Structure 1
Amino acid sequence: MAAADEYSTTSHVLQLCLALQDRLEKVEKEVQSLKGENLALKLVLEEKKTLASVVKDGEVEVDSWKVVAASATKGTQL
């Protein structure tokens, strides 16, 4: 039973990480569209409290992190 619980927890954390990565990619695309340039966006996150997720309309929201630094650099167009 403990192995199943560990797998479930690991799976949940992985899903949250993937949701967060997807969210960052959406932010990066939005920045690129606003500026009309190819930008590489880097966000540094810091945990504020216990990791929590809220599911609304099929989307996972991660609300336990805050952005502590952000930078955007020009990238090369492919």
Structure 2
Amino acid sequence: MDRRDLPEILWYARYDDVYSTTKGFPYASTLYTGHRRGHQYAVNKKVTHTGGTLTIDRNAWDAPVAIVS
């Protein structure tokens, strides 16, 4: 894949606790279609795994995250 072929991608923050890149999308539904959206839906959430607690942000992602060649 050539870098010129990469689409524009939108990663938006809307803290609505909805794990989706389409429900509640704050722009026209025709924008950033075709796997080009990321949605940060929660911030500073505490989670515990095997006795350790972390504070994390939560994201729904429907877009490429890396180029591997």
Instruction: Assess same fold via TM > 0.5.
Output: no
Structure number with greater CO (CA < 8 Å, separation at least 6) is: 2
Q: TM-score range by the shorter chain?
A: under 0.3
Answer 1 or 2: which has greater strand percent.
2
Structure ranking higher in helix proportion: 1
Which of the two has higher C-alpha Rg? 1
